[in-house]
Structure 1
Amino acid sequence: MTLAPSLPDLPTHVRPHHRATIARVIERHATQPGVLALILAGSVIRGEGAENSDIDFMLVVDLATQAERAARNALCIYDPEAATYEGGYADGKVVDVAFLEEVAGRGNEVIRAAFEGAVVAHCVDARIPPLLARIPVYQDAGHEERLASFRAQLQVSQWYVGEAEKRTDRYLLMKSAADLAFWSARLILAHNRMLYPFHKWLFRRLAAAPEQPAGLQAAIDCLLAEPARRHGDALAELVLQWRDWPDGGEAWPQRFLRDTEWAWRRGAAPVADW
């Protein structure tokens, strides 16, 4: 009989009940047929989780197992039976080595950030650890262009806040205010070469950015609490005047046109998904 791997070295912040659940996740999933590796990630591993946070993991499997699971729509794993605490569960994804290679080569920031702090709990394929090391890394290639595009999106959002207020369009006002907060955060994270971790962790990650305008968090909170043109303009100007942002040699309406309205023409991903 094949024994499940022992509990790996975990960060000291991982709580005892999470450790117990991780041990059960490894026992239940690591030695299934076709499994090449079990990777632990998510808020519990990063030290951002709450008492009842779930355990996030990834199974890396061989090609035959990946194809078999894909054929029966079983690439996601929901396992409440692994939890040793009330309300807990384990949340898994099933991928193959080719997926990891794609992420390392051209993954967007969200998928890269998902591997931050990842722990290899089980591995029988020597290709996997080096791949994992390449994933949670901000990509310097295209950095200046990224800043120019994010700046344009911020300026468009600022303009829309004003238009929404003028038209008394509550939906557009709420959407544009949220967009303005979002692009302000994305621009500062990119300036710091920090990965964007998706909306759930965006502002916690922004708070950790070492270089940012004084009063940025307060300006964002003010706009979100009371969406209005004056608050939108205050936030936008705070960010735009903080440094000399690149513009890619074009005005923001043209940049927005190319990046957003005409992105479909070249099959590009939406800017928010970069």
Structure 2
Amino acid sequence: MEHHERALSAYVEGVRGDADVLAVILVGSVARASEREQSDVDVYLVVTDERFARETDAGRFAWTERHDLDYPGSYIDVKLASPGYLEIASVHGDDPTRSSFAGARVAFSRRDGLAELVTRIATLPDAAWDERVRSHVAQARLYGGYFLVQGAQGNDAFLVRHASVHLTLAAARAALASAHVLMPGPKYISGLMRAVPTPDGFLPAWDRAVSDPGMDSGAELLRRLLDWLGHGMTPDEALSTFIRDNELTWLRGGAPAEFF
């Protein structure tokens, strides 16, 4: 909307004189043209790697500016980035980071090739999607086929609910990955599950496992997931994948699968 564009232009004018500022990247609903009248304006402020190090060493990663200056309730929601940050995000970024750049627009830049780099962040190759499906299926097998069973057999209500939540999350992430859809955050999963293609009966089974966690609903969801995306993964392969993606993330320098 016009008032959002005015707010963005005013913000850019306010920061472009800073020699450490290399770019402003518009993201969020305004970039995707899905904003509401009162939406805020989301941007990444790209600064030099040296400035990024100083700011983040001081614990400054994000902030808001221009409160109520551009339209009623307006503000600029700023996240800090740098060329190094963007390059690493294009290789190792998790889903929320990658999805935050979907539809992004470079509003101001002193650097060539920034738009192409931003596009790379929000894009994954087919092989990466296939590996994500495999990882999330392994998560589902362990949470649904082992931890949920252990919780039910031991009458451990916490473990039953914990395993059920992780099972439904893993099943949802596998479904999204099979459709090459990034996961912006947990609050979007229920909606996204209704937007991606799934086999007949899968979505009702997922809904049941969410609303009525337990052995019966979990077993049904896991069965449907394995029939759809199990791809012949053996129990030992699932266990090794689960350990790699959870217990050994400290060794590999990554994040657990649910945070990909």
TM-score interval w.r.t. the shorter chain? 0.7 to 0.9
Give, in angstroms, the shift of residue 31 of structure 1.
4.0
Matching residue of 1:167: 154
Cα displacement string for residues 217-254 of structure 1 (whole angstroms, at most 9, x for unaligned residues): 33222222221211111222222212452527944234
Give, in angstroms, the shift of residue 45 of structure 1.
2.9
Give, in angstroms, the shift of residue 58 of structure 1.
0.4
Q: How many Å separate the matches in 2 of 1:186 and 1:156?
A: 15
Matching residue of 2:75: 89
Q: How many Å separate the matches in 1 of 2:64 and 2:27?
A: 15
Q: How many Å separate the matches in 2 of 1:32 and 1:142?
A: 38
Give, in angstroms, the shift of residue 127 of structure 1.
3.0
Identify the match of residue 64 of structure 2 among 54, 72, 78.
Answer: 78
Cα displacement string for residues 128-174 of structure 1 (whole angstroms, at most 9, x for unaligned residues): 12211211102334444433222111111213233323333232222
Matching residue of 1:4: none
Q: How many Å separate the matches in 2 of 1:132 and 1:257?
A: 32
Cα displacement string for residues 159-195 of structure 1 (whole angstroms, at most 9, x for unaligned residues): 3233323333232222222111111111112212222
Matches of residues 1-274 of structure 1 in structure 2 within 5 Å? 15=1, 17-46=3-32, 52-70=38-56, 72-79=58-65, 81=67, 84=70, 87-159=73-145, 160-209=147-196, 211-247=197-233, 250-274=236-260
Matching residue of 1:9: none
2:114 maps to a residue whose letter is I
State the identity as a percent: 28
The unaligned stretches of length 5 or more in structure 2 are none
2:121 maps to a residue whose letter is I
The TM-score with structure 2 as length reference comes to 0.84
Aligned residues: 259
Question: Equivalent residue of 1:56, what SS?
Answer: strand
Question: Equivalent residue of 2:126, what SS?
Answer: coil
- 8 Å Cα contact 1:101/1:131 also seen in 2: yes
- For the aligned residue pairs, the C-alpha RMSD in angstroms reads 2.8
Worse-superposed segment, 133-142 or 23-32:
23-32
Q: How many Å separate the matches in 2 of 1:23 and 1:82?
A: 15
The TM-score with structure 1 as length reference comes to 0.80
